[in-house]
Amino acid sequence: MQTLIDRLTAVVDKNTLFLADDISEKYFADWSGADPCKPSALLKPKTTDELSQIMALCHEYDQPVVVQGGLTGLAGGATPQASEFAISLERMNGIEDIDTTAMTVSAWAGTPLQVLQDSAAEHSLFMPLDLGARGSCQIGGNVATNAGGTEVIRYGMTRALVLGLEAVLADGTVINAMNKMVKNNSGYDLKHLFIGSEGTLGIVTRVVLQLQPKANSSHTALCALPDYKSVTTLLAELKRSLGPGLTGFELMWDNYYNKVLQVESDLQNPFAEDHPFYLLVEYKDNDSVSGAERFEAALFAQLEAGLITDALVAKTHQDAEKFWQIRDGIGELFKVLGPVSNQDVSLPIADIGIFAADLDQRLKQKYANIGVLLFGHIGDNNLHVCAYTGREEDKVAINRDIMLMIGEYSGAITAEHGVGVLKRGFLDQSRSDSEIALMKTLKQAMDPKGILNPNRVI
Ligand SMILES: Cc1cc2nc3c(=O)[nH]c(=O)nc-3n(C[C@H](O)[C@H](O)[C@H](O)COP(=O)(O)OP(=O)(O)OC[C@H]3O[C@@H](n4cnc5c(N)ncnc54)[C@H](O)[C@@H]3O)c2cc1C
């Protein structure tokens, strides 16, 4: 009887199939820190048709596969598990079309996010998705994880940008849903099954995304605030006064802010005094003069109202970069903190302040010498928690404590990074039994043999 590898070799391109020592270590793991594992085979199809044939054969032979985009995922979903074939989208790469009138882009799933951003900018358009992994992550991976990032407050998560897509199902069936229209209520909107399902329901191969006009000016301020209540009130006030131009609202607790300044010795604290909260606010406008005036007037009004204790408006691009460097200092912290429980969770905005104080207190009671650092995209309910004791053995227990507390507060165990492997055991903290049952019904209907990204998400 012919083996699966023989059958695959007969149908795929000579640059598609890799075995044994020809599989580079790059494909053994994603960024999550999940244990690396060599896939039994690596497939890098070039076309949808080739991928469809690969999946039809894997389906026939009950061969489990793991889908790999840019491998920057933080939930372990793209890390191979024993006996899986890895399917990398990296050769299905490139932009098919940019429509400057409808402001849409159609691209292959393996296109790096930064390529999309740069191509949009060349047409004076703006790709409204940005994250630190932009150079490596792929748009297919962004769609599969429903990635967030820094401008969600204005443009929504990846789901809000996707007009259409093409996907290959576990049995090789190609679903062509490359819709380009904003309005299309013709039956079920199937694209949503693939967005955020982390490759468990289908492999995204092409996408159509809505772009936006490029803003002409960007204004940034770093504000100091006295308490969490002022943060939420300020958010509502700035939404009213700045409208949709409010593109960033990034909160840092003093524990995070001070730690970054301590570790990154080239950064200076721009404030003379200490404050409990620091907030990075960003506003974009099409007119640089009136935009600057509007931004400063909105902040000044809240200084007078007492919501803001102190505010520094960036006068130059370099000033703005320095402010963002403090917010993005987490990368440097990871290099020095040792084992860190790094959680990305969501909570109703009014509860985040109470949750944060409660979490800090509970963890400090339970673990000796624990450090707790808090920051997040508060405008989109998103809190990042970094907790560290320096002891690897505490990490799993701290992760668990945080997940269970999220259940108690009716939050989401993952805001952006997804469930993957690492949070699979805690899905019931954020989803009801009936929701999980429906997820399983969908999985069974679309992948009855369970060969696509098995043991992930549900
Ligand atoms: C420095 C850094 C900063 C980050 N910042 C953010 C952030 O701000 N916001 C955020 O949301 N995330 C962030 N992430 C996480 C990560 O970049 C995102 O989850 C990203 O969307 C993953 O894309 P990828 O192409 O690397 O996917 P991968 O890591 O390759 O895969 C992620 C998951 O999607 C599946 N998958 C990948 N491609 C496809 C496809 N074409 N079809 C179906 N399934 C697929 C995989 O099987 C896996 O389950 C960050 C990561 C790093 C390393």
| pLDDT tens for each residue of 195-244 | 999 999 999 999 999 999 999 899 999 999 999 999 999 999 999 999 99
Pair (99, 208) in one structural domain: yes
pLDDT recorded at residue 187: 96
Whole-number Cα distances in Å, 257 to 332, 343, 374, 448: 13, 17, 9, 49
pLDDT band at 94 (very low <50, low <70, confident <90, very high): very high
pLDDT recorded at residue 1: 56
Q: Is 171 part of a structural domain of the chain?
A: yes
Counting residues of the chain whose pLDDT is more than 70, the rounded percentage is 100
- Residue 357 CA to ligand 1 centre (angstroms): 30
The last residue of a domain, from among 21, 55, 88: 88
pTM of the model: 0.95
Q: Encode pLDDT of 19-35 as tens digits.
A: 999 999 999 999 998 89
Above 90 in pLDDT, residue 157? yes
Q: How many CB atoms lie within 10 A of CB 389?
A: 21
Pair (267, 365) in one structural domain: no
pLDDT recorded at residue 33: 85
Residue owning the nearest CA to atom 20 of ligand 1: 142
Q: Is 369 part of a structural domain of the chain?
A: yes
Domain count, the chain: 4
Mean pLDDT of the chain: 96
Q: Encode pLDDT of 248-260 as tens digits.
A: 999 999 999 999 9
Residue owning the nearest CA to atom 19 of ligand 1: 73
Above 60 in pLDDT, residue 380? yes
CATH number at residue 300: 3.30.70.2190
Report residues whose beta carbon is within 6 angstroms of any ligand 1 atom.
30-31, 66-74, 77-78, 89, 109, 131-133, 137-138, 140-142, 144-145, 147-149, 198-199, 203-204, 416-417, 420, 453, 456
Q: How many CB atoms lie within 10 A of CB 329?
A: 22
Above 90 in pLDDT, residue 287? no
Phi/psi at 380 (5° precision) = -115, 30
Domain holding 199, by residue range, is 95-213
Question: How confident is the model over 155-162, as a mean pLDDT?
Answer: 97
Question: How confident is the model over 275-304, as a mean pLDDT?
Answer: 94
- Residue 372 CA to ligand 1 centre (angstroms): 25
List Cβ neighbours of 169 (8 Å cut-off, separation of 6 or more).
Answer: 55, 175, 201, 202, 446, 447
Q: Which of 1-10, 134-143, 342-351 has the lowest mean pLDDT?
A: 1-10
Q: Is 341 part of a structural domain of the chain?
A: yes
Pair (102, 208) in one structural domain: yes
Pair (124, 173) in one structural domain: yes
Pair (304, 279) in one structural domain: yes
- Residue 166 CA to ligand 1 centre (angstroms): 18
